[in-house]
């Protein structure tokens, strides 16, 4: 089902008679893209991370100074903390909710297409500027949420987006709101679990709860794992929502200064391209570390059934 | 975890053809339900659905309200419905809003054409042809799905700037023509693998080369995968903000997301009505894509596991 499983299988694959000429022709656009748009720039970015480069003068080699500077840049360290909070809070919530709703919807539910559509729609719109603008209103000091809260008798609710202690959580909520796409993947995965497992368990007197933990969870675990890996990688790269909700500055008091937002500011507002490249490579390392740990931990909870 | 889970986990998973399985109708035996729990379940789900789409409905209704009313009325029935927000919002920026819609449409159409052509060519090679370096290239293709975009952001900008492409749509479109959206390649590979190989062999016997096999046999059968690619590319690029922000500086080149952001900067908090109205306009194409393409979207994410 997943790209990760594909990667596992590649180990030990064998080659037979070849069709090189035709194959490379078909692959030509992809190969050019790989070299010019992906791998070339990655190498260039690694080089630039050891330079001082402002676009106006040629890059100047400064060794590991960018990396040293990062380690003592309080705004950068803060942006790492903000981004980690965002990733570690929103991803489990989003996937947990997706799983919960998928399990509730799965078992021969009436009205499934309706519910599925309603829950899925926000995930198509969630990354748009329009929804981020809406969020600014809803969680503004006099926005929809506070109107409702005042109506309920809370005379002085916080100004969610204006308050540094809550601003990040409005963006986390926006991310959780888009649980529809992992939900769809879980629904497809749940369909693959043969009904007879549940029937046999029922005959043996297993409760729904036991069935969930002993049948659904193990059999769905590869799909949960796959989603976890990709959602974490994606969450680290979130940008638009923080940019729009904070009005482009990561405020109030840097409380929504996502790593990507700080990288954008350094690179494209201050033209510190060398520093931005070093930041990008630190991001790659962080994301790679998370993915690696995910793979390490997976052997304790992910179950492959064949 | 369980008896099942305690079996040694083999690091191998059979290649399923998820497109078939996702589309397969389920023939579940009817179970007996407790009508009370069933009703409770529906009540909770309907409440949850309402909570989920309330912000969208409220924005839609509010776009027909005067701004001061937006900040008072939390309901869904407009007291003084008006089109003022739309007429004002449409002309509030340098260009009429239709101009930005057109810019976005150009970008989106270019990206769709690019993705469909380049990804299907690459997918055919990966799915059907044997060639030197196939394993390693396929692995690289899958790995590129997981590389953060930001690591290539700075050098790509420098590259495209040297080409003189800043303030053109080329930095957004050209990468798609070079199949850099690997997940679509993966999606199409999965799809082609599900097609019977006998079709290719029959075409080969009839004298078709690889290109005509691809063009006459595989491509027509790939319509569902192409539809999924088209709709996802459409929605993602319609919503795209970061690359547009970096490359499109001149307001004449603004796409819809940049125009909305300019709205925020120019009218600030003062004209929420007009901002809501143009936000609604910007979401209509996404909603239509959802309405008519839902089938392909759901199939697509069930296949690749990518949002």
Q: Are A260 and A238 in contact (CB under 8 A)?
A: yes
> Which 4-23 residues of chain A touch chain B by CB within 8 A?
5-10, 13, 15-20, 22-23
Q: What is the pLDDT of residue A113?
A: 87
A292 touching B (Cβ < 8 Å): no
Out of A6-15, A255-264, B285-294, which region has the weakest mean confidence (pLDDT)?
Answer: A6-15
Mean pLDDT value across residues A60-73: 94
A173 touching B (Cβ < 8 Å): no
For B229, the token pair is 């690619």
Q: Is residue A193 very low, low, confident or very high in pLDDT (cuts 50, 70, 90)?
A: confident
Q: What is the pLDDT of residue B37?
A: 81
Asked whether the beta carbons of residue A118 and residue B52 sit closer than 8 angstroms, the reply is yes
Q: Is residue A10 very low, low, confident or very high in pLDDT (cuts 50, 70, 90)?
A: low
A117 pLDDT more than 60: yes
Of the candidates A116, A115, A125, the residue with the CA atom closest to the CA atom of residue B280: A125
Higher confidence at residue A23 or residue B295? A23
Q: What is the pLDDT of residue B24?
A: 43
Q: Is residue A155 very low, low, confident or very high in pLDDT (cuts 50, 70, 90)?
A: confident
- pLDDT tens digits along A67-91: 999 999 999 999 999 999 999 999 9
Neighbours of A117 (CB within 10 A): 16
- Along the 307 residues of chain B, how does pLDDT read in single tens digits? 333 333 333 333 333 334 434 444 444 444 556 778 888 889 999 999 999 999 999 999 999 998 888 888 888 888 888 999 999 999 988 899 999 999 999 999 999 999 999 999 999 999 999 999 999 999 999 999 888 999 999 999 999 999 999 999 999 999 999 999 998 999 899 889 988 988 888 998 888 889 999 999 999 999 999 998 999 999 999 999 999 999 999 999 999 999 999 988 876 667 889 999 999 999 999 999 999 988 888 877 766 654 4
Residues of B in contact with A283 (CB under 8 A): 148, 150-151
Residue B76 three-state SS = coil
A282 pLDDT more than 50: yes
Q: What is the pLDDT of residue A23?
A: 93
Chain B residue at shortest CA distance from A272: B154
Which ipTM score applies to this complex?
Answer: 0.88
Asked whether the beta carbons of residue A233 and residue B178 sit closer than 8 angstroms, the reply is no
As a whole number, the mean pLDDT across chain A is: 90
Mean pLDDT value across residues A45-66: 93
Contacts of B6 (CB under 8 A, 6+ apart): none
Residues of A in contact with B18 (CB under 8 A): 1, 188
Residues of B in contact with A243 (CB under 8 A): 241, 245
Give the C-alpha distances (Å, rounded to integers) separating B132 from A139, A155, B135.
56, 71, 8
Count contacts between A and B (CB, < 8 Å). 347
Asked whether the beta carbons of residue B144 and residue A38 sit closer than 8 angstroms, the reply is yes
Give the C-alpha distances (Å, rounded to integers) separating A16 from A20, A74, B134, B177, B186.
12, 56, 11, 30, 22
Q: What is the pLDDT of residue B80?
A: 83
Q: What is the pLDDT of residue B54?
A: 95
Q: Are A291 and A202 in contact (CB under 8 A)?
A: no
């Amino acid at each position: 089902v997943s790209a990760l499983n594909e990667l596992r299988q590649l180990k030990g694959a064998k080659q037979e008679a070849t069709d090189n000429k035709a194959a490379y022709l078909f692959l030509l656009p992809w190969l050019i893209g790989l070299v010019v748009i992906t791998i070339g720039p990655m190498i260039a970015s690694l080089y630039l991370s050891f330079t001082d480069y402002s676009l106006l003068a040629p890059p100047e080699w400064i060794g590991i100074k960018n990396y040293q500077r990062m380690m003592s840049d309080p705004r950068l360290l803060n942006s790492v903390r903000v981004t980690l909070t965002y990733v570690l809070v929103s991803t489990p919530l989003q996937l947990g909710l997706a799983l919960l709703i998928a399990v509730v919807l799965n078992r021969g539910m009436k009205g499934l297409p309706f519910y599925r559509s309603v829950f899925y729609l926000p995930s198509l719109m969630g990354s748009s500027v329009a929804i981020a603008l809406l969020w600014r209103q809803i969680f503004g000091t006099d926005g929809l949420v506070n109107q409702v809260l005042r109506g309920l008798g809370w005379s002085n609710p916080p100004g969610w987006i204006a308050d540094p202690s809550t601003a990040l959580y409005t963006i986390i909520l926006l991310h959780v709101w888009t649980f529809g796409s992992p939900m769809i993947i879980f629904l497809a995965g749940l369909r693959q679990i043969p009904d007879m497992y549940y029937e046999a368990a029922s005959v043996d007197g297993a409760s729904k709860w036991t069935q969930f933990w002993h049948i659904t969870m193990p059999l769905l675990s590869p799909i949960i794992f796959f989603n976890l890996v990709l959602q974490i990688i994606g969450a680290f790269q979130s940008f638009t929502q923080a940019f729009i909700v904070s009005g482009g500055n990561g405020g109030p008091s840097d409380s929504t200064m996502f790593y990507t937002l700080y990288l954008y500011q350094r690179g494209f507002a201050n033209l510190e391209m060398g520093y931005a490249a070093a930041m990008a490579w630190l991001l790659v390392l962080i994301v790679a570390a998370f993915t690696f740990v995910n793979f390490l931990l997976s052997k304790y909870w992910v179950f492959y059934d064949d | 975890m369980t008896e099942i889970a305690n079996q040694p986990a083999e690091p191998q998973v059979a290649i399923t053809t998820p497109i078939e399985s996702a589309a397969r109708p389920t023939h579940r035996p009817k179970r007996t339900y407790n009508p009370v729990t069933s009703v409770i379940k529906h009540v909770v789900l309907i409440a949850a659905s309402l909570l989920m789409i309330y912000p969208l409905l409220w924005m839609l209704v509010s776009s027909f309200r005067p701004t001061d009313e937006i900040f008072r009325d939390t309901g869904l029935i407009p007291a003084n419905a008006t089109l003022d927000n739309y007429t004002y919002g449409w002309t509030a920026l340098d260009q009429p809003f239709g101009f930005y819609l057109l810019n976005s449409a150009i970008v989106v159409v270019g990206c769709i054409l690019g993705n469909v052509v380049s990804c299907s060519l690459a997918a055919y090679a990966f799915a059907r042809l044997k060639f030197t370096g196939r394993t390693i290239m396929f692995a690289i293709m899958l790995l590129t799905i997981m590389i953060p975009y930001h690591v290539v952001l700075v050098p790509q900008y420098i590259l495209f700037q040297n080409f003189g492409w800043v303030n053109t749509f080329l930095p957004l479109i050209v990468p798609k023509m070079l199949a850099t959206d690997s997940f679509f390649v993966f999606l199409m590979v999965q799809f082609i693998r599900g097609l019977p190989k006998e079709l290719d062999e029959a075409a080969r016997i009839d004298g078709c080369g690889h290109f005509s096999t691809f063009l006459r046999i595989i491509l027509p059968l790939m319509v569902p995968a192409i539809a999924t690619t088209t709709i996802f590319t459409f929605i993602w690029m319609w919503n795209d903000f970061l690359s547009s922000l970096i490359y499109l500086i001149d307001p004449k080149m603004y796409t819809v997301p940049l125009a909305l952001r300019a709205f925020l900067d120019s009218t600030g908090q003062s004209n929420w009505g007009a901002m809501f109205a143009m936000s609604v306009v910007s979401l209509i194409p996404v909603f239509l894509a959802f309405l008519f393409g839902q089938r392909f979207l759901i199939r697509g994410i069930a296949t690749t596991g990518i949002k």
